[in-house]
Structure 1
Amino acid sequence: MRKGTPIYNKLNLAPALLAGLLMIILNSCASSSAGPAPMANQTPSLPVVQLKQIDAATSRDYNAAIEGKVNVEIRPQVEGILDKIFVDEGAAVKKGQPLFKVNDRVYQEALSNAQANLMAAQANLDKAKIEVDRLAPLVKNNVVGEVQLKTAQSAEAAAKATVAQAEAMVSNAKINLGYTYITAPVDGYIGRIPYKVGSLVGRMETQALTVISDVSEVYAYFSFSEKDFLQFKEAYPGTTIREKLSHLPKVSLVLADNSVYQQEGTVETVDGQFDKTMGAISLRATFPNPNGELRTGATGKVRIPTTVENAVVVPQNATYELQDKVFVFVVGDSNKVASKPLLINGKSGNYYLVSGGVKGGDKIVYSGFDRLQDGAIIAPENISLDSLLKENPMR
């Protein structure tokens, strides 16, 4: 039976080895899983700011199109070959300054012909007067009949009418000849000149010779939505729109590069009716432009300052966006956080001016909420809103 003993020992060794390996694996898993457990139970320390209600200055921007106060299309009054161009594109011109010259040979000849016709008509009138003067004493002395005198007088009247007609033709020819010199009707800047010397120009052409813009002042046209217009009427005193406009503060012009034009403007007019297709009404702000920096066709934004009363000031750093809404994490009882959407009335610098969602005295998480979820508990680290406003003031 000695030969059987080793086999029995080998058979009993396998369960012991398996049990040992199993204990090692369980101990290993227990030790690895026990490692991060204390971290999961840690409460994150996050900065928290307490909100305040204040009267805050803000502004609204409205897209605007800029035009000179006078934009004049320069068109020829007569047809002909363009002989001369006296100015260049972009040049500053004064009222009465020559701009273009149309070939005038045809109009010179027309004037000469009209003057010759006037001379012939004047000669016929003189002849008719002589005939009347000759017949008048003869009729008086009953030498000839009165009918002859009346006939001569009628001929004189017809000659006078012919002279008047000839004089009008001369005047018209002079006007047409004068139209061959095209001068500036206003002070301003020359726009694009699409025609060159030798081009045939005339009144029937669809394209103007050029456009002169008087930009000593510029108009910025912008629009209010129906809601904006109703708020405007409620916000400012007065019984008429003109009275309400007089209480609007000075406005600024934000240029295409986001710089602010150095001259302030005034909102002067409101359109008489809403655009049905756009649901908006147009307004016009006037800006002085002494150095000619602004030109017709430019774009920008009209910035209207306003004051929001009892607004809750919320730092933008403390907010996040989700599906076109802006949220904050409000710290509640037991330091438990909950996300709340904001009703924003405007912006001032790096702050939202809020009228709903939070109120003065509420505490919100200022930063570090990237992985924060509703119901999480935090360890708040209080920071002062006044210190934030001092470091980054509203504007």
Structure 2
Amino acid sequence: MRKFPSRPTLGMPAFTLLTVVVAVVAAFTLSACGQAADAPAAKPGAAPAAPVGVLTLQPQRVALTAELAGRTVAFQNAEVRPQVTGIVKTRAFTEGSDVKAGQLLYQIDPASYQAALDSAKATLAKAEANAATAKLKAGRYDELAGIDAVSKQLRDDTQAALKQAQADVAAAAAAVRAAQIDLDRTRVSAPIAGRIGRSAVTPGALVTANQATAMATLQQLDPIYVDVTQTSAELLRLQRDLAEGRLQRDASGQARVKLLLEDGSTYEQEGRLQFSELQVDPASGGVTLRAQFPNPKRQLLPGMYVRAQVQSGVQAQALLAPQAAVQRDPRGNATAFVIGKDGKAEARQLQTGPVIDGQWLVTSGLAAGDRLIVDGLQRLRPGMPVQAAPAAAPAASAAR
């Protein structure tokens, strides 16, 4: 039977070292477990308050305006046409100049009309002479009939001849007046004061009475009209707001209008709304409004495209929020931050109206006395503590 060599036993020094190592590891493990069980969980540090600029909202009186597109229209417009037929002898104005009412514009050859007037005057003189003879004869026959020297029939005939001669005088006088009118119409004068455009005829041209083509067009530019179109729905909303007291008219009762020109500049003169049409255009669903503007420098010309800012009313208790304080969420809703009662940022959803002097008109979502955050919005989140400081107030509304 084969004998295997016996396994050597572990010596004392090696066993002692292994025991020490195991004991140390166990001690560290127990110590770590004890600390994990006995020590409380670490609390994260409190977030620092975010510095923000705030504006305390106060109600104010503002004028609400609607911006509408429109065109300028001459205050008065007159197309100059001849009332007699003839050859144009002279043109007595400079194209594009201002003329006065009654000023001579064209002279049509008056020779034939002067001759007609002279003939009518001669006819009148002849009729007057015949009437004088008939009057004397009628007077004599009336006396003779009184003493039965002539028959009553002859007297009646002379009286009828007198009346016929008097009628001939009246007809001849009317012919003289008609001839004089035709002669006067050879002088074509300005019917109104204003600026005259280009001439459609030159000296030597033949013109006819009441022709379709105008010789020139005359327009009065000071004052000038501006016609704009407003939707019927907007007009109904305005009337409802005025009736319910949400809007008020100014002291004059007339809406003020400002103009923005095609180049974006503001017209220096302020206008007044004159009237609105009494019917709605079925094609566009709009109502035409007409405003009147002073135009002393003739800066506005008929047919110009303008944008009119029409004052629709006055809101006495309006809340305005700076545009920088109003943000949009992914759905396009207007939102803003205010400081809540706990001193933390609170998000509000707003309903806004038009922009007035660079500020949103807030119709709901904010109240008077709210501290609106206008600065420091970049990293602000709802519920974040804030450190408020007064922000610079925006420019005051010009409409009061």
Give me the TM-score of the superposition, normalised by structure 2: 0.68
- Unpaired runs of 5+ in structure 2? 1-49, 339-343
Partners of 1:281 and 1:129 lie apart in 2 by: 69
2:74 equivalent to 1:60: no
Aligned length: 339
2:370 equivalent to 1:352: no
2:120 equivalent to 1:114: yes
CA positional deviation for 1:162: 1.0
Equivalent position SS for 1:194 = coil
2:300 equivalent to 1:294: yes
Partners of 1:383 and 1:190 lie apart in 2 by: 65
- After superposition, residues 38-53 of structure 1 pair within 5 angstroms as none
Pick from 317, 321, 331: which aligns with 1:313? 321
Partners of 1:222 and 1:249 lie apart in 2 by: 14
CA positional deviation for 1:176: 0.9
1:352-392 Cα offsets, whole Å, 9 max, x none, are: 334358886787998879xxxxxx999999998934x54x8
2:391 equivalent to 1:386: yes
- Unpaired runs of 5+ in structure 1? 1-45, 370-375
Report the counterpart of residue 104 of structure 1 in structure 2.
110
Tell me the C-alpha RMSD between the 2 structures.
4.3
Distance change (3 Å), C-alpha of 1:247 and 1:267? same
Partners of 2:135 and 2:235 lie apart in 1 by: 75
Distance change (3 Å), C-alpha of 1:245 and 1:121? farther
Equivalent position SS for 2:354 = strand
Partners of 1:381 and 1:238 lie apart in 2 by: 40
CA positional deviation for 1:319: 4.8
Pick from 257, 262, 266: which aligns with 2:263? 257
Give me the TM-score of the superposition, normalised by structure 1: 0.69
Report the counterpart of residue 171 of structure 1 in structure 2.
177
Report the counterpart of residue 75 of structure 2 in structure 1.
69
Contact 2:103-2:189 within 8 A present in 1 as well: yes
Contact 2:348-2:365 within 8 A present in 1 as well: no
CA positional deviation for 1:294: 2.5
Letter in 1 for 2:270: E
Partners of 1:138 and 1:248 lie apart in 2 by: 80
Deviates more, 1:144-153 or 1:161-170: 144-153
Report the counterpart of residue 90 of structure 1 in structure 2.
96
2:202 equivalent to 1:202: no
Contact 1:312-1:358 within 8 A present in 2 as well: no
% same residue: 26
Equivalent position SS for 2:89 = strand
Q: Which has the higher helix share?
A: 1
Contact 2:325-2:372 within 8 A present in 1 as well: no
Letter in 1 for 2:213: Q
Letter in 2 for 1:129: K
Letter in 2 for 1:60: A
CA positional deviation for 1:84: 1.5
Report the counterpart of residue 228 of structure 1 in structure 2.
234
CA positional deviation for 1:111: 0.9
Letter in 2 for 1:345: G
